[in-house]
Amino acid sequence: MRSRSARIHETGCETVPEPEPNVPRVMWQLLEPLHAVTYFAPEARAAADAVGMRGFWMGYFAGRAAPLGPVGPGVVTAAFHGFPPARVARALPDAWTFATPGDVLRARLDGAGAALRTLLTDKVTGSDDLRAAAGLAWEAAGHADTAGRVLGAANQALPAPDEPHLLLWQAATTLREHRGDGHVAALVAHGVSPVQSHLLKVAAGETDIDQLRLARRWDDEEWEAGAAALRGRGWVDDSGVLTAEGARERTRIERLTDEAAAVPWRALGDERTAELALLLYPLTMAVLESGVMPPANPIGLPPPGDGENGRGLTLPAVPSPIS
């Protein structure tokens, strides 16, 4: 990977390092679908229900928060950034009266593992390629710089699972929470509230407004206040579309997010990061093409039919920019 000084993006009086190429974003595209089975696969929901979670959202909040211990809604609202406090409070701390954080951690690993076995097949989950991918991803996750990154640090501190597909899932989870912590920091530094961050994602065409409103459940007044704030900043127009200024600011936030997620890949090195990308590609596509993830997902991941080469991922070009 080239030095961070190899290319500088200028914004006003400031400079923002831009990795060349954008390795952190490519690796996020590859790893996020493997992690996200924990939200969308029926096996994951069944495992959460089996330990006593009452409905999807209790399982979601408890599952993501479990590495932190039996925390309350204030901590989770702050760390997750995107949810109304009242919605989090409907799940926590009640979840810990039904199951301990340790129970929930075991359930989320069991559920994700069962989902990956279904989606990737037993033959793939026991393959040499998957073992190699899991080892490289785990090493990268161990290099994640966690100062100030609560969710990334809590996941990094968990023990290594024994089975390769579980090791890969936990590594992907650590790396995505590490990236998410950095993204939240960039949003906060730019004065972007949770609702505004959702509306920027919609304005950029990354997700559907109706699905996002259903998933996040901010009330109508809060959505409108967020939209009015973005209009007042000149970031979106009256129809909710990004203005030129909004596009510049959002690009800057995304570049800062990518740069903040770059340390694991610099530590792993160009050659082994490229090797990992090639090993992950067929696994990621198997998940995306299974249909387990809805096309209009709140994460903003593209469906496999979109993007270059009809895949939603620009990965046929991965070996060239990373090497």
- Higher pLDDT: 301 or 87? It is 87
Place of tokens 């390092």: 17
CA distance 155 to 130: 21
Kindly report the CA angle at 65 between 146 and 160, in degrees rounded to 5?
A: 60
Q: What three-state secondary structure class fits 46?
A: helix
Of all residues in the chain, the percent with pLDDT exceeding 90 is 75
Write the CA distances from 132 to 30, 110, 300, 318, integer angstroms. 15, 21, 28, 18
**Rounded mean pLDDT, 170-180:** 98
Task: Provide the pLDDT confidence category of residue 268 given band limits of 50, 70 and 90.
Answer: very high
Q: Extract the runs of DSSP E, i.e. beta strands, from the chain.
A: 8-11, 14-17
What pTM, to 2 d.p., does this model score?
Answer: 0.87
CA distance 30 to 70: 31
Task: Provide the pLDDT confidence category of residue 41 given band limits of 50, 70 and 90.
Answer: very high
pLDDT tens-digit series, residues 240-261: 999 999 999 999 999 999 999 9
pLDDT of 217 > 90? The answer is: no
Q: Closest Cα partner for 179 from 260, 270, 254? A: 260
Q: Closest Cα partner for 80 from 105, 61, 55, 54? A: 61
Q: Closest Cα partner for 213 from 29, 84, 301? A: 84
* Helix-then-strand count for the chain, H and E: 17, 2
